[in-house]
Amino acid sequence: MRRFDGRVVMVTGAARGIGLGIVERLTSEGAAVAVADLDIEAGRAVAERLTGEGRKAVAVTCDVTSPESVAATVGEVVERLGRPDVLVNNAGGGLSLPDFDELTTGDWHRQLDVTLMGAVHCVQAALPHLSASPYGGAVVSVGSINGLAPFGSLAYSAGKAGLVNLTQNLAARYARRGVRFNVVTPGTTRTRAWDDQPDALERIEPTIPLGRIGRPADIAAAVAFLASDDAAWITGVTLPVDGGALLGAGRAFQNTDGEGAAAHGG
């Protein structure tokens, strides 16, 4: 399929993990993709690998916690690729933080700045361009099932829950301007976030109804659908991509003290 021929897509947190899976999928479907990441060298390596054979990708530096950095990034995307038609808010992984009763105000700000406010900054900067897209603009944010059920990791989960509500409100507010907003909520997905927990995935896998840990390509397929014209009449939805993990409503991942065993998603 070439659902994104002629379209420009900006993906944040795109150099690794789920973000990398998303840019691989979208470039394979014809999109010109801006690989936006704080690690510009990793982003350049991705862009260089993906460019060619009818595919186009450029690397741009982006710190989603800084509105000034995000505005500069969007300006660079416009200059190098053209007006973005699609924004994918993927940046926003879980930080290593203490349990709830030890969380400081600074801890909360550090997590929410990337998990929730990063998406706010990106939407604010890209919205004028998305509204002018001849295809109709689309924003797909990558949340987590942590934002939908009590899986623990409270600051991360609260940010992801806020992202769902933000998406619903933006969908209602900007529908008449032709911009759609949707969110994909991954379950446990095999990324570098699990590298320092070698046994965790083995413990989690048997609890997933569909019998395996997710792959970045699983999330990328859902993002590509919601960003494409196949979802032209869909806005404001939350799409779990979790192998059925939500069917357990988080119980399998709860410790006796109520703190989650692990964060899910990116």
The distance of Cα 121 from the centroid of its chain, to the nearest Å, equals 14
The DSSP output letter for 52 is: B
Query: Quick one: what percent of the chain has pLDDT higher than 90?
Result: 80
Q: Report the run of H or E that residue 266 belongs to, with start and end.
A: none
**Residue 55 and residue 47: Cα distance in Å, rounded?**
10
Tokens 């919205």 correspond to 127
**Residue 87 and residue 92: Cα distance in Å, rounded?**
14
pTM for this prediction = 0.92
Q: HEC string of 148-208?
A: CCCCCCHHHHHHHHHHHHHHHHHHHHHHHHCEEEEEEEECEECCHHHCCCCCHHHHHHHHC
* Chain segment 158-167, per-residue pLDDT in tens: 999 999 999 9
* Chain segment 206-219, per-residue pLDDT in tens: 999 999 999 999 99
Tokens 């991954």 correspond to 186
Catalytic residue among 56, 135, 156, 174: 156
Tokens 């799409």 correspond to 239
Q: Which CATH number fits domain 8-253: 3.40.50.300, 3.40.50.720, 3.40.190.80, 3.50.50.60?
A: 3.40.50.720
Going by pLDDT thresholds of 50, 70 and 90, the confidence category of residue 265 is low
How much is the pLDDT for 261? 41
Q: Find, among 31, 25, 88, 85, the residue nearest to 58 by Cα.
A: 31
Question: For the chain, what are the domain ranges?
Answer: 8-253
Tokens 């410790």 correspond to 255
Catalytic residue check, 174: no
Q: Report the run of H or E that residue 121 belongs to, with start and end.
A: helix 117-131
Going by pLDDT thresholds of 50, 70 and 90, the confidence category of residue 251 is low
